[in-house]
Amino acid sequence: MDSEVLATKYDQVLKPMTRMGWPFWVTVFPLSILFLWSFFAFGWQYQWGLGETGMGHPMSWTLYLVNFVFFIGISHAGALVSAVLRITHARWGTPFGRAAEAVTVFALAAGPTNILFDLGRSSRFYWVPLHAQFKSPLIWDFTCIMTYFTVSVIFLYVLMIPDIGLLRDRFPGRKWLYKPLSLGWTGTKDQWRTISKTIGFLCVAVIPIAVSVHTVVSWVFGLQTQPMWFSTIFAPYFVTGAIFSGIATIIIVTIALRRIYHLEKYLTPYHFNNMGLLLLVFTLLWAYFTFAEHLTVAYAGGSHELDVLWSKLTGRYALLFWIMVLLCFVIPFSLLVFKRSPKFLLPASISVVIGMWLERFLIIIPSLAHPRLHYPRGAYMPSWVEWSMMAGLCAGFTLAFILFSKFFPVLSIWELEKEAQEN
């Protein structure tokens, strides 16, 4: 189809890219301040040492690691929603694709940054590849995440090329950006053949890579003797939780885009109903894994494991634990089982995302606080530095997405068009 006709047809999708009213500035300004503030916080910590955080023996891995696992978890959205739905030709996934892939890339940028915050000497990070010790789970973590990041960026980019070709013709003022990125896309038969082959390959490649990432992240913990980390189901438990929080994030992002950019025509209740079903399935899966994990410890766990378990169920972390159960299971389940319209999905997804953050917190912190030789036991409260970094990360993540939506369409126009033609 002619680019002019296409652009008129999908005007609703392209319009938000050029319009920047007061809501845009009102959102971007405070987020930028938060984001810049986190640089100050990091500088402070870099200068004065990790003693500025809430860490202390035996709490060596704290809020930064929680955020690391959390953001890496969110990044699994892209792999599942884009690749799996494409491979299975699930048409209803099309309008979620672009948002999911962008969430993946930005979450993958945010996640590993936490490791840099957590290092005592982050400036020496390059010593890991230089003096790599291949027995360390951390190095495989690094490898998997970098592979996933690279593949995700390529995935996001390749799927945008036909759209960038359209943008190049549509916005001559931004030619400096779109022309090199479009790689001379004109929509010839040859180009279509190449791109569909590439996409097919990437879809298959990205799934095992995504699964490997959270598997290895879980093994960073699961291969240690710390009580309640040493568990064989940690890998699938982490992957399930990751996809769970990822789907919830996509739903939040797309509902926000739908409301703000007026994309009701493309993101219909039908699409959200299906996405809600997927979230419901993962709610149940998560509950199943959590129950299995905790029951095994409660029934047959040694005294060290039971220490951790009781601190979660009835002790110091009980409040957080039961809030997590409420947010990750009770609220989303009772909402989604009845109705999966955007109005129900938004509170359910927000509750899942917060709940999954708590889950990561409750996996890492109580185990470290109750080591096998519990002298001393630990207590932990994050300091202002850690909260600032977390706020900065969330602000940076949101900012990146907002800026992305100003340069690229948040829905995949060529795929929508392809579907419209096929119908």
Partner 1 sequence: MAKWGMVIDLDKCVGCQACLVACKEENNVPHGSPEEQKSRRDIFWHKMIAVTSGKYPHVRVEVIPMPCMQCDHPPCVTVCPAKATFKREDGIVVQYFRRCIGCKYCMVACPYGARSFNYKVQETKPYHRQDDPPDRKSWEPWPFPTRTQGVVEKCTFCFHRIDQGLKEGKKIGIEVVPACVESCPSQARIFGDLEDPQSPVSRILASRASFRLREDLHTLPKVIYLSRS
Please report, as ranges, the residues that interact with partner 1 according to CB under 8 A.
48-51, 55-61, 115, 118-122, 124-125, 127-128, 130-133, 135-139, 142, 220, 224-226, 368, 371-373, 375-376, 378
Q: How far is the CB of 9 from partner 1 (least distance, A)?
A: 52
Q: How far is the CB of 234 from partner 1 (least distance, A)?
A: 15
The smaller minimum CB distance to partner 1, of residues 220 and 352, is found at: 220
The smaller minimum CB distance to partner 1, of residues 340 and 360, is found at: 360
Length reported for the chain: 423
Prior bond of 269 cis (ω within 30°): no
Q: What does 80-141 look like in DSSP terms, one character per residue?
A: IIIIIHHHTT-GGGHHHHHHHHHHHHHHHHHHHHHHHHH-TTGGGTTHHHHT--TT-HHHHH
The smaller minimum CB distance to partner 1, of residues 56 and 187, is found at: 56
Asked whether the beta carbons of 246 and 77 are under 8 A apart, the reply is yes
* DSSP state at residue 307: H
Q: How far is the CB of 51 from partner 1 (least distance, A)?
A: 3
Cα separation of 247 and 282, whole Å?
A: 9
Q: How far is the CB of 187 from partner 1 (least distance, A)?
A: 47
Q: How far is the CB of 373 from partner 1 (least distance, A)?
A: 5
Question: 253: buried, middle or exposed (CB in 10 Å: 19+, 13-18, 0-12)?
Answer: buried
Q: How far is the CB of 122 from partner 1 (least distance, A)?
A: 8
The smaller minimum CB distance to partner 1, of residues 271 and 360, is found at: 360
Q: How far is the CB of 114 from partner 1 (least distance, A)?
A: 12
Q: How far is CA 418 from CA 9, 11, 90, 91, 415, in A?
A: 13, 16, 14, 11, 5
Neighbours of 272 (CB within 10 A): 25
The smaller minimum CB distance to partner 1, of residues 129 and 184, is found at: 129
The smaller minimum CB distance to partner 1, of residues 56 and 269, is found at: 56
Of 315, 316, 369, the residue nearest 59 (C-alpha): 369
The smaller minimum CB distance to partner 1, of residues 36 and 379, is found at: 379
